[in-house]
Structure 1
């Protein structure tokens, strides 16, 4: 699904059925929208870098939380390939987001639409695919 660079809105279509994950996804959307608004408003480079730093920090916390749930729920025991793929997605996103952060710190101009198109599309597609599959598993659906 392609959602573009516009502000995101939480909806039940993004729900995984796992309260902890869904609450964190809602917070991620809020932080992502705050960062998006900072860039839209033409915030200075320092403000933009801080917005991306906050987003990355919370995202890493969220990924750690999801991966703890995978481990405690036996996801890797029953579906090791799915768990590995899920973790690879997390690492790939973190790497890409960190590259954007580094570019900002180096004073490089970042195209707002490109950056938030990437961030928004990644989040929505990850949640609606990989995370919802994890939710089904943790809720006893597979």
Structure 2
């Protein structure tokens, strides 16, 4: 049994931006899969695989969000939002590098970081960005919202 509950997708996580919500659901599913598969004694190869898959999809997702920021002139908090993306990516790369050099990360530490970062990022930063998009005449016109 896992020490961490699986993340349940619920209305509080919905931003109202279909593409972003779909990608967030995939990230939640990847984290839940990691939660189920990780054990206290996973080998380095398995940890590298999990972090590689998460980072790969997260980078794709970040590119989507940052493309929307640029397209719809999101200036107000875009720098802070992008810094959060870069910080997350750097942390995952550092974890991967540590694993490769024989410095393990505990299942608990990895899941704690990933789960809290994603939930906090969605509930705060992404919700704020989504509110901007939904209020944008250009976005609404492009997406018939």
TM-score range, shorter chain: 0.7 to 0.9
Map Cα deviations across residues 14-64 of structure 1 (whole Å, 9 max, x no partner). Answer: 111100000000000111122222323744321221111000000000001
Q: Which runs of 5+ in 1 are unaligned?
A: none
Greater RCO (Cα-Cα under 8 Å, separation 6 or more): 1
Report whether the alignment pairs 1:87 with 2:87.
Answer: no
Is the Cα contact below 8 Å between 2:40 and 2:107 reproduced in 1?
Answer: no
Number of residues of Structure 1 aligned to a counterpart in Structure 2: 135
CA distance in 2, matches of 1:92, 1:7: 24
Give the 3-state SS of the residue equivalent to 1:109 in structure 2: coil
Which ranges in structure 2 are unaligned for 5 or more consecutive residues? 137-145
Misfit runs of 4+, over 6 Å: none
Find the counterpart in structure 1 of residue 55 from structure 2: 56
C-alpha contact (below 8 Å) 1:35/1:51 kept by paired residues: yes
Structure 2 Cα separation of the partners of residues 7 and 43 of structure 1: 19
What CA RMSD, in Å, does the superposition of the two structures yield over aligned residues? 1.8
Structure 2 residue 9 is the aligned partner of structure 1 residue 10: yes
TM-score by length of 1: 0.88
1:118 aligns with 2:117: no
Pair member with larger Rg: 2
